[in-house]
Structure formats: C-alpha cells, structure tokens
Amino acid sequence: MTVQCVLRLLRMRQGLVAYSCDEALRKYVQFFVSVKSKPEKGGPLKQTLIGIVTSTKSSKTLRVEVPRKVRHPLYGKIVSQRTICHAHDENEEAQVDDRVEIVESRPHSRLKRWELVKVLSRH
C-alpha cells in the first residue's frame, strides 16, 4: 500500500489534515493492530440473551423467546417484538415458562446456535 493511500485512510478515519510519511505509517499500523487484536483471556466475547422458554418438545433443545421493545420508524410508537432462538440444553434442566440465560455458540444443528447458561427463575 502506498503512503498516499495510508494518508488518505488516516485523514478519512480521524479527520486529520496532514502527517509526515513515517508518522502516517506508524499510526496506520497502530490502528490496525488495535482493531484486529482479540480480548485477553478467553477469546472473542459472546453475546448473551435472557428469554423465556416456550417449548422443550425436542430432545436437548429449547425454544427461547427473547422479547424486545422497538420504536416504530414512521409513527414513533413503542412496539413489542420477539426473537426466537433454539438453544442446546445438555442436561435438560429448563422447563416451559422458565426464564433462562443463553449464550451464542458454535452451530449444534441447522437451527441451534445458542447454549443454555443457567435457569434464572422457575415458573
């Protein structure tokens, strides 16, 4: 990559006017090292959700409904929406209507991309 490209990138990203060539390359390297570094201890962060179990009919599988509130883009009204997640439950400890915490994981099957962390409250 040429120095002109690096300077252009830095100007766009940071809104700066001018750099010397050495300083531009140093800042370019610092920026990409900071972006591509992973968090310490444990690898990348995983998303966690809290939802309510709606079905346990499948073996070692939970159907978890995660409710959320969203403002309507045109009318501004607060609307209730939901996200359906299929989670892996190795010990089959959750029941229907339990409040559970799930974490994203490797794919277990076509739909299962989440794992049960713990049961927060029983119904």
Q: Which CATH number characterizes residue 92's domain?
A: 2.40.50.140
Q: Are residues 117 and 67 in the same domain?
A: yes
3-state helix, strand, coil in the chain (%, to 5): 25, 35, 40
Q: In this model, does residue 19 exceed pLDDT 60?
A: no
Residue 43 within any structural domain of the chain = no
For residue 115, with 0-12 CB atoms within 10 Å meaning exposed, 13-18 middle and 19 or more buried, which class applies?
middle
- Domain range holding 10? 3-36
Q: How many domains does the chain have?
A: 2
**Confidence at residue 18, expressed as pLDDT on a 0 to 100 scale:** 53
| Same-domain check for residues 62 and 111 | yes
- Distance between CA atoms of residues 30 and 36, nearest Å: 10
0.95 exceeded by the pTM? no
Reduced to 3 states (helix: H, G, I; strand: E, B; else coil), residue 3 is helix
Q: Where are the beta strands (DSSP E) in the chain?
A: 48-55, 61-71, 78-88, 99-104, 112-121
Residues 31-90: tens digit of each pLDDT: 554 444 445 566 678 999 999 999 999 999 999 999 999 999 999 999 999 999 999 999
Task: Kindly state whether residues 74 and 23 are assigned to the same domain.
Answer: no
Confirm whether 42 is domain-assigned.
no
